Structure 1
Amino acid sequence: MALITFASRLRRTNCQLFLPFILTSTTHPLPPHPPTSQHTQHYFTLAFHQTILVPFHSLRNSPHFSTLQASHNQSLCEPVDFVEYKPKTHQQNQSGVHELVQLLKKAKGFVSEEEAIAFLDDSRVELNTDLIQSTIWEVRDEWKLAFLVFKWGEKWGCNVEKTWGLVIWVLGNHKKFNIAWCLIRDLHRSSSMDTRAAMLIMIDSYAAANDPGKAIQTFQIMEKFRITPDLKAFYALLNTLCKHGNIEEAEEFMFLNKKLFPLEIEGFSIILNGWCNICLDVFEAKRVWREMSNCCITPNATSYTHMISCFSKVGNLFDSLRLYDEMKKRGWVPGLEVYNSLIFVLTHENCLTEALNILDKLKEAGLLPDSATYNSMIHPLCEAKKLEEARTILASMVGENVSPTIETYHAFLNGASLEETLEVLSRMRKAGLGPNKDTFLLIFSKNFELEQPENALKIWAEMKQYEVMPDCAHYTSLVEGLAMCGLLTKARELYAEMRSSGILDNPKLQMLLKEPVRGSNNERESEGQPSVVRCNKRGTQVCLGKSSSIRRKNRGKQSRNKQAGIT
């Protein structure tokens, strides 16, 4: 109650005098041309002479295709690395954090903020900056508690600049942007702290909330907070947009502002990373590569690394090796990521001997293979059901003192029988690498794809032994898989169990349980004959990105038989 009251009061503060002009509501998109009214120009004049305003409606309607592949290491750092608070929470401050979290849950019920903070004061907990930050991280999924402990820390002067950034990050994750902007205003008024990190966090939050227009506008009004939107901030914006799948928007903004921020290889590398590693699209990656040549931009080691990674992921061995040779001829030294990409595509294309030769070559170059290097062989081998070769590589991996990762074990689960699956789970627990929630989702998907619902149910029974509590994703996977196999009675039982555990209704599952799946009926259920399951393999699904639905339609009108090469 106290937090709700305070949040309501925040919305009535003076921030409303400038916030509506800082970020236009999504229900009122910006006009296609710069506004002419004096009122709007008053708030955006400084932004206009730094960057060209991108019309919000054009950004919102700019789609792109995505397969949501895992991103490789970024060349640019995140605005603030908040994950560092996790080990603090679980180690040095664990007892104090747990005690404070319990107090916060009790204080949440007070009517006013003053009463809640007075209650916390009476607890006589010794506050310090580390405790405040660790507690905010611990309750990051409950923004009201995070905000309350922040306000308490502010009263006693325990909040430093990074504490402000952390709570703004939490608020942004929960889309509480008005409150976050009020904090940025207060931070701006403080002469001792900088708002730069907070602004970059807001850019990231808007991009994560699928609102690239507001992310860009936040960059454009940085000068209002005495921050110059320099080249580093510009690249951070591009990187953030690409990281969250808004790659077309990032590329459009980069070209629109080329007079203020000249086109350089760093910007193109960020866009390439988006198409090559975040939303895998080899056609777009080729197009950007050609555009680099048209703009007289010479590729560097980073751009070569991204393109080789892209070609390797789609199984294009020829172009992977061609770019590798071209990279060396131009004087760039391949890094470990390049060698890992080559090892993967060679193994994937049934050239294990050549992949092992590349492994020897990278060692000769003075590089040390890591878990990703060996996983680049183990994954395609397991996918091809070549388990003996995969076990040989695993033995070599351990022999080189390279520890297997959870991804290593997940690869072996891909082609494992029920007994082998249980053995892998046991090994994972002994190695201290799970199994985790994703492990069981992977197993369920595999079993339903192989039309083995009985094995999925056996693994479901094993989950509790590994202290993995089922969540909505597990129930959804099981209920949907069982229904697709025609086992509607068992699917309904699990759905009822899901609802009794407090998980909300799923309309899609409800419809699935009401009507028999095409090609299945209740008779099949009694006969124990599951229907054919059509599931995508985990990790190889074709997914549409945040603004990608339209371009696929547009591409349908264009012939793609003409596959352009790279110049």
Structure 2
Amino acid sequence: MAPPPLAAALRRHVLGLLLPHSRHLCLLAAHTISPSDESDFEPDHPLPRAPDGELAAFLRRLSDASTAASSPKHALSLLLSSPPSPGPSLTSRRDLLVRALWELRRDPDAAVLALRYVAADEVNKAIKTFDAMEKFKTEADQTVFYSLLRALCKNKNIEDAEELLLIRKKFFPLTAEGFNIILDGWCNVITDIAEAKRVWREMSNYCIIPDRTSYTLMVSCFAKVGNLFDTLRVYDEMKKRGWTPSIAVYNSLIHVLTKENCMKDAQNIFTRINSEGLQPNVETYNSMIVPLCESRKLDEARMVLEDMMLKGIVPTILTYHTFLRQESIDETLKLLRKMKDDGCGPKSDTFLMLFDRFFQLNEPGHALKLWNEMKRYDIRPSYSHYMSVVQGLIKHGCMERALEYHDEMKENGFASDPKLEKEFRTFLLANRDHWRGAGKYNIIPQRGKHFARQSRI
């Protein structure tokens, strides 16, 4: 099976940088690059050169991510999660990226991946990089431009993305697709119905006709905030315009109808879905389960869950998390076991959510019980886990237990919070001779340890 074009192109670039003096590689390059491929563009100033080692390392990271990924979105995720190259300054990083784009000037897919990576890191650098692509005649078509807008919106820089969309309208004419990227940011990344409505009006001001995606996004946004009237209004307008509602639209209708206690109407949507040849999916059932659980109608939610599973639809981690936010400690432990049996977690975020929940319910004992349970599922505590437990214990006055977990956190290599350190020092000084009974904690600051546990002999 031939490697993906992106991976193959990147591999060639990496080899060219690692083996610049290879005679065979030079011969290969001579046969593969025709004279017509050579660029006659000569910049006014020399192109900034980052060290070859850094450039090769960056291109290798791009290559590894694209080879292992199943989609561009997956490739970006892998690239962001991979450890960056150590050490270069901000200027060096910018020069490095410009050089990388120059090396990838004949491979727009690779250039898009590099650009999206930068957009996830820094807004201004991403926009300057896009400008550099145009300056050095790297292909920067509408696909690349929209990729930049999506990356900015995904990282909550929606206002910057919208400003860029309007500023560049002479080079990239405004379309429904472009506005939909901004709408998606306000509807899904940051649910702000006022901004979504404003962008909707902007589309009209620029004579852009909303398409099916535009209506789907607005229906979803109104449903999320529980605005039943406007959800139904936009849904009716969508049908009048001749757009066929997708399963996502019906899922939004089920959610808002259930949230507003219109259960009969929500059930009718299920009937309509089947009559139109669509298949309810797990999101369809979650759209009913989530508002039922939020309203503490757990028995009804369990009936929906049972019906879903009887039809062969497997619950997602969102389904389980919805129940976990409402269940008692005993039911929580049962659900955690069921999640494992179904191959659906529990995950690190599951326990972080549970710690926060039980501390909010003034049940620190249950939170600590879940800490021990977490280790049974082979989940290693992260910095977020430790901070959640330490801060929760402090809030409930369990300073000695908080110290214990705080010391364990530092022993496992996590940095301490300066505010916590100050609070612990104050506590230790005020309680130097406290807890001297049998089985109690005796505070003894010694060799970097905050305390030791001692029993009276």
Name the TM-score class by shorter chain: 0.7 to 0.9
Shift of 1:170: 5.7
- State the SS of the aligned residue for 2:370: helix
The reply to whether residue 200 of structure 1 matches residue 108 of structure 2 is no
Closer/same/farther in 2, CA of residues 512 and 334 from structure 1, 3 Å limit? farther
> Any conservation in 2 of the 1:184–1:195 contact (CA below 8 Å)?
no
- State the SS of the aligned residue for 1:289: helix
> Any conservation in 2 of the 1:188–1:195 contact (CA below 8 Å)?
no
Match of 1:294 in 2: 205
> Any conservation in 2 of the 1:187–1:195 contact (CA below 8 Å)?
no
The reply to whether residue 259 of structure 1 matches residue 170 of structure 2 is yes
Instruction: Report the AA paired with residue 84 of structure 2.
Output: H
> Any conservation in 1 of the 2:183–2:199 contact (CA below 8 Å)?
yes
Closer/same/farther in 2, CA of residues 314 and 223 from structure 1, 3 Å limit? same
Match of 2:196 in 1: 285
Higher relative contact order (CA 8 A, sep 6+): 1
Instruction: Report the AA paired with residue 393 of structure 1.
Output: V
* 1-structure distance, mates of 2:226, 2:408: 43
Closer/same/farther in 2, CA of residues 308 and 444 from structure 1, 3 Å limit? same
Structure 1 segment 360-371 matched on structure 2, within 5 A: 360-371=271-282
Task: Pick from 362, 366, 370 the counterpart of residue 459 of structure 1.
Answer: 370
> Any conservation in 1 of the 2:179–2:203 contact (CA below 8 Å)?
yes
Structure 1 segment 189-268 matched on structure 2, within 5 A: 189=103, 194-209=106-121, 211-268=122-179
Shift of 1:299: 1.0
Shift of 1:424: 0.3
Task: Pick from 415, 421, 436 the counterpart of residue 332 of structure 2.
Answer: 421
Shift of 1:352: 2.3
TM-score (norm 2): 0.74
* 1-structure distance, mates of 2:191, 2:264: 27
Shift of 1:345: 1.2
* 1-structure distance, mates of 2:334, 2:203: 50
Shift of 1:338: 0.9
> Any conservation in 2 of the 1:410–1:439 contact (CA below 8 Å)?
yes
Task: Pick from 297, 302, 309 the counterpart of residue 398 of structure 1.
Answer: 309
Instruction: Report the AA paired with residue 184 of structure 2.
Output: N
Closer/same/farther in 2, CA of residues 365 and 420 from structure 1, 3 Å limit? same
Closer/same/farther in 2, CA of residues 163 and 197 from structure 1, 3 Å limit? farther
> Any conservation in 1 of the 2:285–2:304 contact (CA below 8 Å)?
yes
Instruction: Report the AA paired with residue 196 of structure 1.
Output: P
* 2-structure distance, mates of 1:346, 1:391: 18
Q: Percent identity?
A: 46
> Any conservation in 2 of the 1:317–1:346 contact (CA below 8 Å)?
yes
Match of 2:23 in 1: none
CA displacement, residues 148-195 of structure 1 (integer Å, 9 cap, x when unaligned): 9949xx9xxx989859997994699737674696487367458xx834
> Any conservation in 2 of the 1:171–1:180 contact (CA below 8 Å)?
no
Unmatched 5+ residue regions in structure 1?
1-9, 11-40, 45-112, 115-142, 517-522, 527-567
Structure 1 segment 95-494 matched on structure 2, within 5 A: 147=57, 150=60, 169=79, 174=84, 178=92, 182=96, 185=99, 188-189=102-103, 194-209=106-121, 211-494=122-405
Unmatched 5+ residue regions in structure 2?
1-16, 18-42, 47-51, 428-433, 438-457
Shift of 1:199: 2.7
> Any conservation in 2 of the 1:483–1:513 contact (CA below 8 Å)?
no
* 1-structure distance, mates of 2:150, 2:194: 20
Question: Quick check: 176-185 or 260-269, which moved more?
Answer: 176-185
* 2-structure distance, mates of 1:149, 1:306: 36
Instruction: Report the AA paired with residue 203 of structure 1.
Output: L
Shift of 1:291: 1.0
Closer/same/farther in 2, CA of residues 497 and 161 from structure 1, 3 Å limit? closer
Structure 1 segment 32-111 matched on structure 2, within 5 A: 42=44
Instruction: Report the AA paired with residue 111 of structure 2.
Output: M
Match of 1:76 in 2: none
Instruction: Report the AA paired with residue 221 of structure 1.
Output: A
Instruction: Report the AA paired with residue 174 of structure 1.
Output: P
Closer/same/farther in 2, CA of residues 273 and 187 from structure 1, 3 Å limit? closer
Match of 2:40 in 1: none
Structure 1 segment 9-48 matched on structure 2, within 5 A: 42=44
- State the SS of the aligned residue for 2:327: coil
Q: Give the number of the structure whose alpha-carbon radius of gyration is greater.
A: 2
Match of 1:532 in 2: none
* 2-structure distance, mates of 1:265, 1:148: 35
CA displacement, residues 368-416 of structure 1 (integer Å, 9 cap, x when unaligned): 1111111111111112111100100001101121111111111110111
Shift of 1:354: 1.6
CA displacement, residues 507-541 of structure 1 (integer Å, 9 cap, x when unaligned): 2433454568xxxxxx9xx9xxxxxxxxxxxxxxx
Instruction: Report the AA paired with residue 119 of structure 2.
Output: A
* 1-structure distance, mates of 2:59, 2:170: 45
Instruction: Report the AA paired with residue 386 of structure 2.
Output: Y
> Any conservation in 1 of the 2:251–2:283 contact (CA below 8 Å)?
yes
Question: Quick check: 351-360 or 337-346, which moved more?
Answer: 351-360
- State the SS of the aligned residue for 1:235: helix
* 2-structure distance, mates of 1:428, 1:159: 32
> Any conservation in 1 of the 2:59–2:100 contact (CA below 8 Å)?
no
Counting matched residue pairs gives 375
Instruction: Report the AA paired with residue 185 of structure 1.
Output: R
CA displacement, residues 106-143 of structure 1 (integer Å, 9 cap, x when unaligned): xxxxxxx99xxxxxxxxxxxxxxxxxxxxxxxxxxxx9
> Any conservation in 2 of the 1:476–1:509 contact (CA below 8 Å)?
no
- State the SS of the aligned residue for 1:221: helix
> Any conservation in 1 of the 2:101–2:138 contact (CA below 8 Å)?
no
Shift of 1:196: 2.1
* 1-structure distance, mates of 2:422, 2:251: 45
Instruction: Report the AA paired with residue 489 of structure 1.
Output: E
TM-score (norm 1): 0.60
Structure 1 segment 508-519 matched on structure 2, within 5 A: 508-513=419-424
Closer/same/farther in 2, CA of residues 224 and 268 from structure 1, 3 Å limit? same
* 2-structure distance, mates of 1:218, 1:485: 49
> Any conservation in 2 of the 1:202–1:218 contact (CA below 8 Å)?
no
> Any conservation in 1 of the 2:219–2:235 contact (CA below 8 Å)?
yes
Closer/same/farther in 2, CA of residues 313 and 189 from structure 1, 3 Å limit? closer
Shift of 1:480: 0.7
Closer/same/farther in 2, CA of residues 187 and 324 from structure 1, 3 Å limit? closer
Closer/same/farther in 2, CA of residues 187 and 449 from structure 1, 3 Å limit? closer
Closer/same/farther in 2, CA of residues 407 and 398 from structure 1, 3 Å limit? same
Closer/same/farther in 2, CA of residues 169 and 374 from structure 1, 3 Å limit? same
* 2-structure distance, mates of 1:373, 1:326: 22
Shift of 1:221: 2.0
